[in-house]
Amino acid sequence: MKKLSVIAFGGNALLKSGQKGTIDEQEQNVYDTCQHLVPLIKEGYDLVIGHGNGPQVGNVLLQHEAGHRIYDLPAQPIDFCVAETQGSIGFMIEQQLRNVLAEHGLRRNIVTLVTQVVVDKADEAFRNPTKPVGPFYKKEESEALAKENGWVFHEDPRKRGWRRVVASPKPLDIPNWEAVEKLAREGTIVITVGGGGIPAYIDEQGKMVGIDAVIDKDLASSLLANKVKADEFCILTDVPNVFINFHKEDEKKLERVSVDEIGRYLAEGQFAEGSMAPKVRACIQFVEKGGRDAIITEAEQLGKDSGTVIY
């Protein structure tokens, strides 16, 4: 039986530090990342791709705010903006992956699904926003924007500046996961749960209603990986491995580590929130709910028996 792998593209697969986010920059980044999927595709893997949208959805929110302020256009809520970026980023991944496959003489159907993800309206995250979106600001700029718009800002763990943070509730369900599994196991590469999915909750009448939030893309991809019974769950980031004592003299690279061991490191605060902690948490979730191996690495290491493997 062919292996099914769910791969979550990190933000650097779309936009690298210091870039403005032009279409040329993003398409080149996606193209480069997709090249690293070729060995898996040649091995016959079935693939599902998730992706982040932090910088992009933040920029779309700014565009809506500017349109409202300058032209009196109605600014749209975050869930609407997540849907916009699901479509635009999915288009970029699908197009560049098609180009990469054509170069290598490979043929696969590729489909992008705009996907809602169900959350709990009473989730504690709505009272404690933590999810970074949009660009980095200087401290003075963030303070002015917070005062003007009522936004909340946190300093980046890597000291790259200040970013707006919004609620990041836990994903509970993915309504179309069965369609994703069917397509993927038939050989179609599926791009889905973009940006963690479009956040929605079920109201008292049983209707699905959008809500202002950004769901963590790694947790949503992990949930999907369990639902489709993936053999592997892989998170692509900008480092080849997970480290403990990161950037300290006794820094240690983790290669193959049990879910219990890495869970202890997480509890000790070894991994920064808004950076590595959500990725580790998503991998723990996948393994504890029946998944086999979860991998955190950079795109260049895919298929090379490297990276941090959590079992």
Q: What is the pLDDT of residues 243-288, one digit of tens each?
A: 999 989 999 999 999 999 999 999 999 999 878 999 999 999 999 9
**pLDDT score at 182:** 98
Distance of alpha carbon 83 from the chain centroid: 14
Say how many domains are in the chain: 1
Consecutive 10-residue runs of the chain (311 residues): their mean pLDDT?
92 84 95 96 96 90 89 94 96 98 98 98 94 87 91 90 93 98 98 97 97 95 98 95 95 97 98 90 98 95 89 97
Token digits of residue 96: 């560049």
248 is catalytic: no
**pLDDT score at 146:** 93
Q: Which amino acid is at 199?
A: P
Whole-angstrom CA distances from 132 to 66, 73, 295 are 20, 25, 23
Q: Which element (helix H / strand E) includes 96?
A: helix 78-103
Exactly one of 10, 12, 58, 274 is catalytic; name it. Answer: 12
Region of residue 21 (left: phi > 0; alpha: psi -120 to 50; beta: else):
left
- First and final CA of the chain: distance in angstroms? 21
| Domain, as residue range, for 162 | 4-310
DSSP structure string for 51-93: E--HHHHHHHHHHHHHHHHHH-PPPPPHHHHHHHHHHHHHHHH
The Cα–Cα gap between 235 and 298 comes to 8
Exactly one of 53, 59, 195, 217 is catalytic; name it. Answer: 217
Percent of the chain as helix, strand, coil, to the nearest 5: 40, 20, 35
The Cα–Cα gap between 166 and 216 comes to 11
182 is catalytic: no
C-alpha torsion sign, points 108, 112, 116, 117? positive
**pLDDT score at 136:** 86
3 is catalytic: no
- Give which of 241, 278, 280, 225 is closest to 47, Cα–Cα: 225
**pLDDT score at 131:** 84
Exactly one of 50, 52, 131, 307 is catalytic; name it. Answer: 131
- Give which of 196, 175, 176 is closest to 184, Cα–Cα: 176
Stated pTM of the model: 0.91
290 is catalytic: no
11 is catalytic: yes
Exactly one of 195, 226, 279, 291 is catalytic; name it. Answer: 279
User: Tokens 């920029």 identify what position?
Assistant: 59
**pLDDT score at 297:** 96
Exactly one of 10, 11, 50, 90 is catalytic; name it. Answer: 11
The Cα–Cα gap between 308 and 222 comes to 16
Q: What is the CATH number of the domain that holds 183?
A: 3.40.1160.10
DSSP 8-class letter at 150: -
The Cα–Cα gap between 278 and 272 comes to 8
The Cα–Cα gap between 291 and 283 comes to 9
12-49: b (≥16 Cβ within 10 Å) or e: bbbbeeeeeeeeeebbebbbebbbbbbebbeeebbbbb
Angle in degrees, 0-180, between the axes of helices 217-227 and 277-288, rounded to the nearest 10: 10
- Give which of 233, 185, 229, 221 is closest to 44, Cα–Cα: 185
**pLDDT score at 121:** 96
**pLDDT score at 149:** 83
